[in-house]
């Protein structure tokens, strides 16, 4: 089946993971931008969580004002380049382009956006001035899309910002979790360097904030604290054999792949558990790593998958097969995993129930769990534990941080946005929320 | 079956499509290639005392990704010796005896005119075109548009030519004049057998905004050029119409200006042209466009039941009136086809900002299909022009078709506004929003400041 040969060197890896949305040349951008109708109150703007004035930036590309285009993009979204590449544009801006209503190909907004921002990132063109120094300091925990977006906006408002990042690189899931055919490490890191150069916030790498003592220090040293820690690692399924060799989290697999590239270990027969976008990414990537067979297994039907249909299509195009209405009950193997025992499901009144006696074993030598990320509850509970009584919790029942419309937690000094609050959506959602959170912090600091 | 054969003042060609006197007719090589591809005639690049040209000669107006919607040049007449051109004219005529070869000429003295007319006749040219149009370079030397702008001088030179010419003489007119019919009438009086128009329009196509020099740039400097291409077609059509309608002109017309496809040729013919001349489209796409020009024209004629070009020549002229003759009772309003509408709302913003506030948006933000406020609609057509979907916004007739009154009649009856606040003001009872309503209106969320 394998359409992809196992990559053995960086060039082969790059070929297998060639960009899904390659950077546009000037000519392509010119022709594509010429097609935009410049709709009134354009649906694409309203479909964008950050509300980028898309027809305006496309017009600016078309009339030779690419710096203006980049500025239009960044004014609304500090992750403009990353989002141009990783956003599910088919579901957002491009999905709402009016051309879809007349069977004309929608404008390639994501690629135009990446084209405009790429120009200023490469030329290091400074587009923004930071605000007048307010003398206030904000600590940001996490240098992912939420944390960095919040930092940029806070600098625009004149507040000093220190970011504390657990890992060695910025950009969070853009570097550690996004499929490499959507965004390369270099692209993600270059955009971060571009933003940091303009905004002058500090990032302390390899500085995880994990305990009460660190929180105490932050609270003492800073006027406000922003939590942009995202989600935790892949949650355990809680079925027998989960500790067998070869059973790993899909997210961890993607993270490994982004750093190890062609040296990443991948099985010959891979089973990916889950129906979300991370599961689809893991399946596509396993195919591109040269796995002989890749099977997505999901406990409900295809129409109930959480993944966008275009992500499922991409996984299928890469060579994945799919099993629906199956629940894993046990990982089989003597030390290393050799198969997954499933039971078939049927749905009744919107719920699924196992069909007795329908168990079967699907052979494999690797299982990727795309079954959801855990929450970083431990740290968050320590915030609430000190400052709040039992009733005003900082977390909801699903472990998400509870915030008001200014993204302020029940502890007024703490603000939060991104996956830790919304439960895990897109980079663009984190960018949109964190920008609002920065304004919430600004208001709080002015009081 | 449509017969495309054309006879303009005795110059016969297998079809009405001629190459205009310009770079595509610089040599016998090009004209043979054109005839071989199917062109009916060619007006040779203007002959005279050879010139010296500059390097960097053309400039272009692009619209978004569409190249050369307007085009200008600062090239002069032929820079090749007359003897080479004459030899090539003979060769072309020998190989293509039924195709029209017209020699464009531009010289100064009566003697030069006499000599060159005889030379091209001896070479076998089927006709002569007098270049009184070139708006750059040559006019500074008292030729080209310098002649075309002075009807008296134009008439004199036509008379000199007619003193010796045995083949038909076409006078090519410059549009760089306020009333095109004045030089056209002078050509007629001078004895010209036909006119051709328009030559290029004086122009600056753009400015290099980094170096502060207009295009095309010659060593950091520029000069005005002659404008042509699709952008000039409306000006050319109007001038052709003016000449075709004027009773004292009454000459066959070769129409020139922005012709790129068969539809454009039909437009020129409907407004009175017998042949059309093409340059920019060939410079852009090559001689091969003749295949579309001919097939489109044939299909059109067959569909309409026209056998010859003469069957529809000037057919639109009776429908071109003065403004005062138009029916003031005629009433159309816009209508949006909801099934075709894609929700771009360009019609809304065009009407609200650029016209008469006659289009409304739904109060439901998920419904992006605008609606026409019929009582405000003046029937201006703007929405139907900006709409990107074919046949989505149409103009529907609302008067009963039985009433007619025009401005001339109303003037004669004394029924017209005469004072600044006259009760007869056309827009008196037309609804216009209060100025401050503009500020109260809900703006799209991304409109800042």
d(CA A44, CA A39): 9
* Burial per residue of A415-425, b for 16 or more beta-carbon CB atoms within 10 angstroms, e otherwise: bbbbbbbbebb
Domain count within chain A: 3
d(CA A435, CA A437): 5
Mean of pLDDT values over A242-253: 95
The beta-carbon neighbor of B389 closest among A31, A62, A102 is A102
SS3 state of residue A269: strand
The beta-carbon neighbor of A101 closest among B65, B343, B446 is B343
In a domain, A14, yes or no: no
pLDDT band at A46 (very low <50, low <70, confident <90, very high): very high
Residue of A nearest to B352 (CA): A40
pLDDT beyond 50 at A389: no
In a domain, A392, yes or no: yes
Which alpha helices (H) appear in A165-224, and where do they start and end?
Answer: 173-176, 185-199, 212-221
d(CA B27, CA A122): 49
Encode pLDDT of A164-220 as tens digits. 999 999 999 988 899 999 999 999 999 999 999 999 999 999 999 988 899 999 999
Contact with chain A for residue B345, Cβ under 8 A: yes
For A294, the enclosing helix (H) or strand (E) is: strand A293-298
Could you give phi then psi for residue B372, rounded to 5 degrees?
A: -85, 135
C-alpha distance from residue B345 to each of A72, A139, A175, B342, B350 (Å): 22, 45, 40, 8, 9
Closest to B277 in 3D by CA, of B196, B216, B215: B196
Judged on CB neighbours under 10 Å (0-12, 13-18, 19+), A379 is buried
Residues A288, A269 within the same domain: yes
Instruction: Please tell me the pTM assigned to this model.
Output: 0.92
pLDDT attached to residue A381 = 78
In a domain, A10, yes or no: no
Mean of pLDDT values over A242-267: 93
* Burial per residue of B366-378, b for 16 or more beta-carbon CB atoms within 10 angstroms, e otherwise: eebbbebbeebbb
Per the model's pLDDT, the better-predicted residue between A428 and B135 turns out to be: A428
d(CA B326, CA B311): 26
Residues A142, A170 within the same domain: yes
d(CA A33, CA A65): 12
Contact with chain A for residue B65, Cβ under 8 A: yes
Tokens 């960086």 belong to: A10
DSSP letter assigned to residue A104: P
Residue B382, min C-alpha distance to chain A (Å): 15
Contacts of A170 (CB under 8 A, 6+ apart): A143, A144, A148, A163, A188, A189, A192, A196, A203, A205
Contact with chain A for residue B349, Cβ under 8 A: yes
Residues A67, A25 within the same domain: yes
Could you give phi then psi for residue A366, rounded to 5 degrees?
A: -155, 140
Q: Which residues of A touch B345 (CB under 8 A)?
A: 39-41
Encode pLDDT of B272-296 as tens digits. 999 999 999 999 999 999 999 999 9
DSSP letter assigned to residue A373: B
CATH code (residue A90): 1.10.1060.10
* Domains of chain B (ranges, CATH numbers): 6-317 (3.20.20.70), 323-440 (3.30.70.20)
Mean of pLDDT values over B394-404: 97
Residue of A nearest to B388 (CA): A37
pLDDT band at B145 (very low <50, low <70, confident <90, very high): confident
pLDDT attached to residue B365 = 87
Sign of the C-alpha dihedral computed for residues A286, A288, A289 and A292 taken in this order: positive
Q: Identify whether the C-beta of residue A296 lies closer than 8 Å to the C-beta of residue A321.
A: yes
Question: Which residues of B are known catalytic residues?
Answer: 134
Contacts 24+ apart (CB under 8 A), B286-289: B287/B24, B287/B33, B287/B34, B287/B37, B287/B39, B288/B37, B289/B260, B289/B261
d(CA B22, CA B41): 13
pLDDT beyond 70 at A391: no
For A384, the enclosing helix (H) or strand (E) is: helix A377-387
In a domain, A272, yes or no: yes
pLDDT attached to residue B165 = 98
Final residue of a structural domain among A354, A369, A384: A369
Judged on CB neighbours under 10 Å (0-12, 13-18, 19+), A113 is buried
Range of the domain at A75: 20-123
Residues A101, A194 within the same domain: no
In a domain, A337, yes or no: yes
d(CA A292, CA A253): 17
Helix/strand/coil percent split, chain A, to 5 = 40, 15, 40
Final residue of a structural domain among A304, A338, A369: A369
Encode pLDDT of A118-148 as tens digits. 999 999 999 999 999 999 999 999 999 999 9
Interface of A with B (CB under 8 A): 30-31, 34, 37-43, 45-46, 51, 53, 56, 62, 98-99, 101-102
C-alpha distance from residue B189 to each of A377, B196, B214, B279, B331 (Å): 99, 16, 40, 29, 44
Residues A47, A75 within the same domain: yes
pLDDT band at B428 (very low <50, low <70, confident <90, very high): confident
Q: Do B348 and A40 touch (CB under 8 A)?
A: yes
Mean of pLDDT values over B4-22: 98
Q: Do A38 and B342 touch (CB under 8 A)?
A: no
DSSP letter assigned to residue A392: S
Residue of A nearest to B368 (CA): A43
Mean of pLDDT values over B165-188: 97
C-alpha distance from residue A397 to each of A207, A242, A372, A423 (Å): 28, 25, 16, 12
Residues A82, A181 within the same domain: no
In a domain, A286, yes or no: yes
pLDDT beyond 50 at A1: no
Residue of B nearest to A51 (CA): B446
Tokens 């013919």 belong to: B269
Q: Do A30 and B349 touch (CB under 8 A)?
A: no
Question: Within a 10 A sphere around the Cβ of B104, how many other Cβ atoms?
Answer: 29
Please give the ipTM for the structure prediction: 0.90
Contacts of B314 (CB under 8 A, 6+ apart): B244, B269, B270, B271, B272
Q: What percent of chain A has pLDDT over 70?
A: 97
Q: Identify whether the C-beta of residue A340 lies closer than 8 Å to the C-beta of residue A367.
A: yes
Q: Which of B66, B350, B355, B368 to mutate to test the interface with A (most CBs of A within 10 A)?
A: B368
pLDDT beyond 50 at B386: yes
CATH code (residue A186): 3.50.50.60
Q: Identify whether the C-beta of residue A284 lies closer than 8 Å to the C-beta of residue A382.
A: no
A377 is written with which tokens?
A: 């509850």
DSSP letter assigned to residue A133: P
Mean of pLDDT values over B44-52: 96
E strands present in A77-235: 137-141, 160-164, 202-204, 224-227
pLDDT beyond 60 at B379: yes
pLDDT beyond 70 at A386: no
In a domain, A108, yes or no: yes
B279 is written with which tokens?
A: 């340059």
pLDDT attached to residue A393 = 63
DSSP letter assigned to residue A205: T
Residues A97, A165 within the same domain: no
Encode pLDDT of B308-367 as tens digits. 999 999 999 999 999 999 999 999 999 999 999 999 999 999 999 999 999 999 999 899
Mean of pLDDT values over A274-283: 95
B96 is written with which tokens?
A: 């293509």
pLDDT attached to residue A312 = 96
pLDDT attached to residue A392 = 54
Residues A386, A361 within the same domain: no
pLDDT beyond 90 at A384: no
Residue A297, min C-alpha distance to chain B (Å): 37
pLDDT band at B300 (very low <50, low <70, confident <90, very high): very high
pLDDT beyond 80 at A267: yes
Final residue of a structural domain among A94, A123, A152: A123
Q: Do A37 and B344 touch (CB under 8 A)?
A: yes
* Burial per residue of B248-280, b for 16 or more beta-carbon CB atoms within 10 angstroms, e otherwise: ebebbbbbbbbbbebebbbbbbbbbbbbbbbbb
Residues A279, A354 within the same domain: yes
| Average pLDDT of the residues of chain A | 93
Contacts of A160 (CB under 8 A, 6+ apart): A133, A135, A136, A137, A138, A201
Instruction: Please give the interface size between A and B, counted as residue pairs whose CB atoms are below 8 Å apart.
Output: 45
Contacts of B179 (CB under 8 A, 6+ apart): B242
Q: Do B343 and A51 touch (CB under 8 A)?
A: no
Maximal C-alpha separation, chain B: 79
d(CA B116, CA A67): 58
Residues A176, A105 within the same domain: no
Residue of B nearest to A99 (CA): B342
3 state SS for chain B = CCECCEEECCEEECCCEEECCCHHHCCHHHHHHHHHHCCCEEEEEEECCCCCCCCCCEEEEEECCEEEEEEEECCCCCCCCHHHHHHHHHHHHHHCCCCEEEEEECCCCHHHHHHHHHHHHHHCCCEEEEECCCCCCCHHHCCCHHHHCCHHHHHHHHHHHHHHCCCCEEEECCCCCCCCHHHHHHHHHHCCCEEEECCCEEECCCEECCCCEECCCECCECCCEEEECHHHHHHHHHHHHHHHHCCCCCCCEEEECCCCCHHHHHHHHHCCEEEEEECHHHHHHCHHHHHHHHHHHHHHHHHHCCCEHHHCCCCCHHHCCCHHHCECCCCEEEEECCCCCCCCCHHHHHHHHHCCCCEECCCCCCCCCCEECCCCCCCCCHHHHHCCCCCCEEEEECCCCCCCCEHHHHHHHCCCCCCCCCCCCCCCCCCCCCCCHHHHCCCCCCCCC
Residues A160, A101 within the same domain: no
In a domain, A4, yes or no: no
d(CA A308, CA A325): 18
Residues A354, A391 within the same domain: no
């Amino acid at each position: 089946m394998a359409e992809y040969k196992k990559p053995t060197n960086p060039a082969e890896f790059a070929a297998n993971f060639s960009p899904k949305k390659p950077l546009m040349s000037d000519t392509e951008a010119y022709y594509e931008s010429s097609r935009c109708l410049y709709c009134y109150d354009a649906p694409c703007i309203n479909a964008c969580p950050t509300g980028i004035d898309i027809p305006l930036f496309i017009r600016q590309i078309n009339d030779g004002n690419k710096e203006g285009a980049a500025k239009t993009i960044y004014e609304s979204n500090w992750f403009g380049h990353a989002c141009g590449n990783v956003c599910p544009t088919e579901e957002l801006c491009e999905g709402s382009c009016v051309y879809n209503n007349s069977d004309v190909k929608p404008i390639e907004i994501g690629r135009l956006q990446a084209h405009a921002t790429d120009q200023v990132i490469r030329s290091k063109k400074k587009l923004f001035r930071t605000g007048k120094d307010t003398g206030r300091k904000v600590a940001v925990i996490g240098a992912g899309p939420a944390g960095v977006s919040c930092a940029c906006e806070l600098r625009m408002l004149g507040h000093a910002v220190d970011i504390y990042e657990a890992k060695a690189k910025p950009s969070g899931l853009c570097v550690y979790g996004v499929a490499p055919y959507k965004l390369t490490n270099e692209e993600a890191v270059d955009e971060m360097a571009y933003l940091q150069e303009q905004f002058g916030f500090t990032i302390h790498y390899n500085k995880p904030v994990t305990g009460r003592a660190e929180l105490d220090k932050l609270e003492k040293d800073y006027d406000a604290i922003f939590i942009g820690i995202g989600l935790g690692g892949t949650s355990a399924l809680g079925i027998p054999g989960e500790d067998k060799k070869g059973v790993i989290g899909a997210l961890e697999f993607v993270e490994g792949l982004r750093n190890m590239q062609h040296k990443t270990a991948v099985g010959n027969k891979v089973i990916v558990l889950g129906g979300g976008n991370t599961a689809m990414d893991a399946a596509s990537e396993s195919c591109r790593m040269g796995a002989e067979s890749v099977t997505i297994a999901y406990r409900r039907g295809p129409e109930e998958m959480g993944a966008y249909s275009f992500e499922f299509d991409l996984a299928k195009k890469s060579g994945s097969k799919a099993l629906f209405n199956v629940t894993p009950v046990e990982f089989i193997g003597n030390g290393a995993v050799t198969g997954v025992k499933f039971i078939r499901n049927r749905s009744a009144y919107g719920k699924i129930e196992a069909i007795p006696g329908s168990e079967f074993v699907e052979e494999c030598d690797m299982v990727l769990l795309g079954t959801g990320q855990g929450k970083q509850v431990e740290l968050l509970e320590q915030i609430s534990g000190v400052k709040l009584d039992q009733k005003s919790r900082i977390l909801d029942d699903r472990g998400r941080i509870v915030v008001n419309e200014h993204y302020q937690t029940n502890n007024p000094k703490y603000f939060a946005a991104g996956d830790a609050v919304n439960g895990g959506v897109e980079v663009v959602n984190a960018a949109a929320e964190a920008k609002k959170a920065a304004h919430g912090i600004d208001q709080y600091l002015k009081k | 079956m449509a017969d495309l054969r054309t006879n303009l003042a005795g110059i016969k060609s297998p079809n009405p499509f001629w190459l205009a006197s310009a770079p595509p007719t610089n040599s016998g090589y090009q004209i043979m290639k054109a005839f071989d591809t199917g062109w009916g005639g060619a007006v040779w690049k203007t002959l005279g005392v050879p010139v010296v040209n500059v390097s960097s000669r053309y400039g272009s107006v692009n619209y978004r990704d569409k190249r050369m919607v307007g085009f200008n040049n600062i090239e002069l007449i032929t820079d090749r010796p007359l003897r080479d051109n004459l030899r090539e004219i003979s060769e072309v005529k020998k190989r293509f005896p039924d195709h029209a070869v017209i020699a464009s000429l531009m010289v100064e003295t009566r003697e030069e005119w006499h000599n060159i007319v005889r030379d091209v006749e001896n070479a076998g040219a089927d006709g002569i075109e007098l270049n009184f149009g070139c708006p750059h370079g040559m006019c500074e030397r008292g030729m080209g548009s310098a002649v075309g702008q002075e009807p008296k001088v134009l008439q004199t030179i036509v008379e000199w030519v007619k003193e010796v010419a045995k083949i038909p003489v076409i006078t090519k007119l410059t549009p760089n004049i306020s009333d095109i019919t004045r030089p056209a009438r002078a050509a007629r009086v001078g004895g010209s057998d036909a006119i051709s128009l328009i030559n290029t329009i004086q122009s600056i196509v753009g400015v290099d905004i980094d170096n502060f020099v207009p295009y095309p740039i010659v060593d950091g400097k520029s000069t005005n050029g002659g404008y042509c291409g699709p952008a000039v077609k409306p000006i050319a059509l109007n001038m052709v119409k003016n000449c075709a309608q004027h009773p004292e002109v009454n000459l066959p017309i070769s129409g020139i200006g922005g012709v790129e496809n068969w539809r454009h040729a039909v437009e020129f013919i409907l407004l009175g042209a017998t042949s059309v001349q093409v340059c920019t489209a060939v410079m852009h796409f090559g001689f091969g466009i003749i295949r579309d020009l001919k097939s489109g024209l044939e299909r059109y004629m067959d569909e309409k039941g026209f056998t010859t070009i003469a069957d529809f020549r000037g057919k639109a002229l009776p429908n071109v009136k003065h403004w005062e003759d138009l029916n003031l009772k005629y009433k159309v309003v816009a209508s949006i086809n909801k099934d075709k509408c894609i929700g771009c709302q360009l019609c809304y913003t065009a009407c609200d900002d650029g016209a008469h506030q006659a289009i409304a948006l739904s109060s439901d933000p998920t419904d992006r299909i605008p609606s026409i406020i019929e009582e405000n609609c003046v029937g201006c057509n703007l929405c139907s022009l900006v709409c990107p979907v074919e046949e989505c916004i149409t103009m529907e007739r609302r008067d009963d078709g039985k009433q007619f009154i025009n401005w001339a009649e109303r003037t004669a009856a004394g029924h017209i506004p005469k004072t600044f606040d006259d009760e007869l003001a056309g827009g008196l009872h037309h609804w216009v929003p209060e100025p401050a309503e503009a500020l109260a209106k809900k703006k799209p969320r991304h409109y800042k400041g």
